Amino acid sequence: MPKLCKFTSPADGKPVYVNPLLVSVVYTFKGEPPDTIIAFGKDFMLGVAESLDETVSRLDKAIADQASES
């Protein structure tokens, strides 16, 4: 099973787990404060409370950890 990354839902503060191998793009959506969006393909997007840099770092680390275990 792939290593899942834990993020925080901005709506209720509850944890959200993401499979980093399924992520197609991560971006910041304009607003105050700006939201970090994780997109899976073109039809599903998930907002998280973490910053863009922190989100990308967690996803990169999970993928690297998984590659080193293989």
Q: What is the pLDDT of residue 70?
A: 65
Q: How many domains does the chain have?
A: 1
Sign of CA dihedral 70, 52, 47, 45: negative
Q: Domain limits at 45?
A: 5-69
Position 7 confidence tier, pLDDT thresholds 50, 70, 90: very high
Q: What is the pLDDT of residues 9-65, one digit of tens each?
A: 998 999 999 999 999 999 998 877 788 999 998 889 999 999 999 999 999 999 988
Beta strands in 21-65 (DSSP E): 25-29, 35-40, 44-48
Name 49's Cβ contacts closer than 8 Å, sequence gap at least 6: 7, 8, 9, 10, 13, 36
Query: Is residue 1 scored above 70 in pLDDT?
Result: no
Task: Give the pTM.
Answer: 0.87
